[in-house]
Amino acid sequence: MVEPYLQTLGNGLVVLEALHEKPRTQAELVEDLGMNRLTTYRVLRTLEVHRMVDQDSVTGRYSLAVKLWEYGVEFLANSGLRPKVEGPALELRGRWGDTVHVAVYDSGSVVYIHKLDGTEALRSYTALGGRAPARCVATGKALLAFQSETEVKRQITASVPAFTAATIQDEEILRRELEAIRAAKVAVNRGEWRAGVGGIASPILTSDGSAIGALGISGPVDRILDEMWQDRAEHIRTLAAGISASLVPSEKQQKWDHIYELGKPVEGLPVAGIWQEKAAQRGD
């Protein structure tokens, strides 16, 4: 535990994290968190007073209150990112029909701050405000590739379960893929988080080369990474570059143009061959 650390505040945040997962009664929080009954009661009462949790009068379960949603909305408004992505997201869905995501990075995870459901009959599903492991989804890898060297190393060496047969667990393979993503400004997901669900994404960069978000699409892997995958990738990358440019002050535009090179090929990503292999299997 880092110092200085305020234990009382820490207890409150732990309770909020638990309620973020699902509503719970006081007794369930005591059992799940290992916190004593009196401390749990005091934390819940304090959070109620500040309108951060509500208690269901029938079930007795506590859940997060609207006040926290207000904080989230204010965060998005102050970030300046969401208004910039709405138009490109609509364009992206209109051209390809797939579900569109905009995500931000948070300690090894991505959080979806904007989404448009796809128009295709078969499409992926994610929740606005939901999370996914960064190293397993396209938006997450697009963001992870531009984190600090320390953070990248921490995530590469972290132990993760095999969510699917395609989950990358080899450190060297993941390291090389992140290097390719940094060069191409495009990331792909070959069904590494949810079986059969693929994705393509590109980072939204600032003038100093850091990623403040990622724009991407997801859907059935056979469609997302078919023979048109490079066209999808180029479209996403171009739109992400446009969003990035709109966030950069004019005096820094020249520096940003140098950072965001659109001429890099995407062939270096571990995608080439997927649709050819499937065609061979079909006998095409």
Q: Which of 74-83, 91-100, 128-137, 275-284 has the highest mean pLDDT?
A: 91-100
Q: Order of strands, edge to edge, in the sheet holding 99-106?
A: 131-133, 109-116, 99-106, 211-220, 197-205, 187-189
Supply the pTM of this predicted model.
0.75
H helical segments located in the chain = 7-21, 26-33, 37-49, 66-79, 82-96, 138-144, 149-157, 171-184, 221-224, 229-247, 253-259, 274-282
Angle, helices 229-247/82-96, rounded to nearest 10 degrees: 160
Q: Distance between CA 16 and CA 25 in Å, rounded?
A: 13
pLDDT of 165-209, one tens digit each? 999 999 999 999 999 999 999 999 999 999 999 999 999 998 788
* Model confidence band, residue 284 (pLDDT cutoffs 50, 70, 90): very low
- β-bridge partners, 53: 64
- Per-residue confidence band for 217, with pLDDT thresholds at 50, 70 and 90: very high
| pLDDT value, residue 252 | 52
Could you report the per-residue pLDDT of 30-56, keeping only the tens digit for each?
A: 999 999 999 999 999 999 999 999 999
